[in-house]
């Protein structure tokens, strides 16, 4: 993530909770799926200016699609972190887990004093605490955000926990903007621990389904496996859930793999061996590598799990 050097440090932002929505400036660092959804919702809510920057801005094909989306959503696509955050009252950091630390460092160089920095990345308590120290030293107000489920279909109203000493001050501002965020802790690291310990189960289930049904498909016993799962856990539509899991991992395998690396750090820092978290990261990373080589290029957005499994079978 490149910047042009230290940016201007504007004056104190003060209390933004009492200001109307149309007097607020919001910056997004990261303009992928989450950043795009939040950006459109914030502009639609009447925020004065919504700016966004993404490291992929240098990729011409990505930039063309992002510029079209930004224009439609009334978001200003910035050329750098500095130009995105310089005048922001609220900065939302929505990058990949691996880029969390670097993003915080870049935001700290240019954000106005006392601007809120909401970090919604899926990073470990250790990483979030380190990022908080960087932002706080620069005079910003870092708020740890833990997004507790997939942003689609909730959009900006996705359930979120806030953490850190500035969480309670930011919560009413977020509520005014349409977020469904609750203050979870005044201490950094707590809400990320909740999220990532949960992710061991959720992302682990995705990995288990992919591994199980890929093997079952090759043996020709997938119908029997799904029927057995339905008998044991009758509350789930396993066919539908399996396709959903597969599609999400195919689409976001890299991001999920990075999240599970952070989950492994979380578990290790708690004094346990992250056997399942590490294995889950490996499987998600494997699916991401297949996507990168074009294995799923012919699959539509609504592809069912059998189609995706068969594409792997043909290419491996």
pLDDT digits (tens, 9 = 90+) for 235-267: 999 999 999 999 999 999 999 999 999 999 999
**Distance of alpha carbon 61 from alpha carbon 63, whole angstroms:** 5
Domain range annotation of the chain: 21-188, 196-315
Work out the mean pLDDT of the chain and round it to a whole number.
94
The pLDDT-based confidence of 15 (bands split at 50, 70, 90) is confident
Q: Is the dihedral of CA 118, 123, 124, 129 positive or negative?
A: negative
Q: What pLDDT shows up at residue 55?
A: 95
The alpha carbon of residue 199 and the mean position of all alpha carbons in its chain are separated, in whole angstroms, by 12
Coil, helix or strand at residue 180: strand
Q: What pLDDT shows up at residue 68?
A: 97
> What topology is assigned to 21-188 in CATH?
Rossmann fold (3.40.50)
Q: What pLDDT shows up at residue 11?
A: 52
Q: Please, what's the b/e burial string for 172-195 (b: 16 or more CB within 10 A of its CB; e: otherwise)? A: ebbeebebebebbbeebbbbbbbb
- Whether residue 307 has pLDDT greater than 50: yes
Residue ranges of E strands in 94-226: 116-119, 141-147, 159-163, 180-185
Angle at 52 between CA 22 and CA 132, to 5 degrees: 90
Q: What pLDDT shows up at residue 13?
A: 61
DSSP category for residue 301: T
Mean pLDDT to the nearest integer, 104-110: 96
Domain 196-315 of CATH type 1.10.1040.10: yes
Determine which helix (DSSP H) or strand (DSSP E) holds 170, and give its type and residue range: helix 167-177
Environment class of 104 (CB within 10 Å of its CB; exposed 0-12, middle 13-18, buried 19+): buried
pLDDT tens, residue by residue, 24-83 = 999 999 999 999 999 999 999 999 999 999 999 999 999 999 999 999 999 999 999 999
């Amino acid at each position: 993530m490149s910047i042009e050097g230290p940016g201007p440090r504007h004056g104190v932002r003060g209390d933004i909770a009492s200001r109307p929505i149309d007097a607020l400036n919001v910056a997004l660092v990261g303009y992928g799926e989450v950043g795009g959804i939040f950006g459109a919702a914030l502009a639609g809510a009447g925020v004065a200016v919504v700016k966004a920057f993404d490291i992929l801005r240098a990729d011409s094909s990505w930039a063309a699609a992002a510029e079209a989306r930004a224009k439609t959503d009334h978001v200003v696509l910035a050329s750098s972190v500095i130009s995105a955050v310089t005048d922001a009252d609220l900065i939302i950091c929505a990058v990949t887990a691996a880029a969390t630390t670097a993003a915080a460092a870049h935001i700290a160089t240019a954000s106005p004093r006392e601007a809120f920095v909401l970090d919604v990345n899926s990073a470990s308590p250790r990483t979030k605490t380190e990022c908080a120290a960087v932002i706080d030293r620069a005079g910003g107000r870092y708020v740890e955000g833990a997004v507790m489920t997939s942003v689609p279909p909730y959009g900006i109203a996705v359930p979120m926990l806030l953490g850190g000493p500035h969480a309670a001050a930011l919560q009413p501002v977020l509520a005014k903007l349409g977020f469904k965020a609750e203050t979870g802790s005044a201490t950094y690291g707590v809400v990320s621990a909740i999220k990532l310990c949960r992710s061991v189960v959720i992302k682990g289930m995705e990995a288990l389904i992919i591994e199980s049904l890929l093997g079952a498909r090759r043996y020709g016993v997938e119908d029997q496996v799904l029927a057995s799962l339905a008998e044991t856990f009758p509350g789930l539509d396993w066919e539908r859930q399996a396709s959903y899991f597969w599609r999400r991992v195919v689409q976001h395998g890299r991001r999920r793999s990075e999240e599970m690396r952070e989950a492994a750090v979380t578990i290790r820092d708690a004094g346990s061996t992250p056997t399942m978290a590490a294995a889950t990261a490996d499987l998600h990373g494997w699916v991401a590598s297949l996507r990168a080589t074009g294995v799923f290029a012919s699959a539509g957005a609504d592809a069912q799990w059998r189609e995706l499994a068969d594409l792997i079978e043909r290419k491996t």
